[in-house]
């Protein structure tokens, strides 16, 4: 059993909770999620099954799209609605200033993760240390915001945005940084992931639907890598590919590798030889 399940994560469950449920629904052990979501967040959570898990490192770097709600004039220690209020401000930005801040935040930048995050600090998760009241010193990481669009003013101090960003971006940190840019404080009050790589919320199913459909809900491995260029080796190379022989190959970017119309995996050139980094046979 190999492929992907495009799940809609409900609020309150962790990504790991859904992995357990998928294992039960499909009666298989080799299952893993492709990028976590905060417990309160909802939306697309692709789950890899069987050989699909071999593509984890490749798919983890795909860009993500979110609908996010930022509330200004108040902040919490966790930068989301689960935390304790840590700061207040009388400054509530207007729509024009919010739109201007959106434009200024687009591009590559160094982002500081939230204090309450899964980042490892000397082998311990940052949120574990933060809950103990210990000082957490996190390092910034380069991320990229490809687009940040104002959608609407939800109420007097809460705004909705659509954000397209690189993998590893903390939306809670964007809320914090935008609030600072606007001369106030703020937190992420809601989050929906509507796209993760090629997985879209319009095609996602609930966990209840998965239990009804079972393996019929499984999407083929090719669905997650259809954006990559395809390279077909002549059928005379089938045995060599099957035996792991490194064939001449000059493509510098990742390609899906086929022979006899069978997917062997994803690879690229290394010293003008095929490096089948993600072997799927």
Residues involved in catalysis: 38
Closest to 70 measured CA to CA, from 155, 11, 6: 155
Distance CA 47, CA 81 (A): 26
């Amino acid at each position: 059993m190999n492929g992907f399940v495009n799940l809609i994560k409900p609020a309150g469950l962790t990504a790991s909770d859904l992995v357990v449920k998928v294992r039960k629904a499909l009666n298989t052990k080799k299952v893993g999620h492709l990028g976590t979501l905060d417990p309160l967040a909802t939306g697309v959570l692709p789950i890899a099954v069987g050989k699909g898990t071999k593509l984890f490192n490749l798919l983890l770097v795909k860009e993500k799209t979110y609908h996010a709600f930022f509330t200004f004039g108040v902040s919490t220690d966790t930068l989301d609605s689960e935390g304790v209020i840590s700061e207040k401000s009388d400054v509530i930005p207007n729509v024009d200033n919010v739109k201007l801040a959106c434009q200024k935040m687009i591009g590559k930048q160094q982002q500081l993760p939230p204090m309450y995050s899964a980042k490892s600090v000397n082998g311990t998760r940052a949120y574990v240390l933060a809950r103990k009241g210990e000082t957490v010193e996190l390092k910034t990481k380069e991320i990229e915001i490809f687009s940040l669009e104002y959608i609407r003013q939800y109420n007097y101090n809460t705004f909705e945005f659509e954000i397209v960003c690189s993998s590893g971006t903390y939306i809670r940190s964007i809320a914090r940084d935008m609030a600072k840019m606007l001369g106030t404080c703020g937190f992420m009050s809601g989050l929906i992931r509507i796209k993760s790589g090629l997985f879209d919320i319009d095609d996602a199913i609930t966990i209840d639907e998965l239990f009804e459909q079972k393996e019929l809900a499984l999407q083929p491995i090719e669905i997650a890598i259809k954006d990559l260029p395809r390279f077909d080796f002549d059928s005379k190379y089938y045995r060599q590919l099957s035996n792991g022989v490194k064939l001449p190959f000059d493509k510098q970017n990742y390609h899906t590798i086929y022979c006899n119309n069978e997917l062997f995996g994803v690879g690229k050139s290394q010293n003008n030889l095929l490096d089948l980094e993600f072997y799927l046979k």
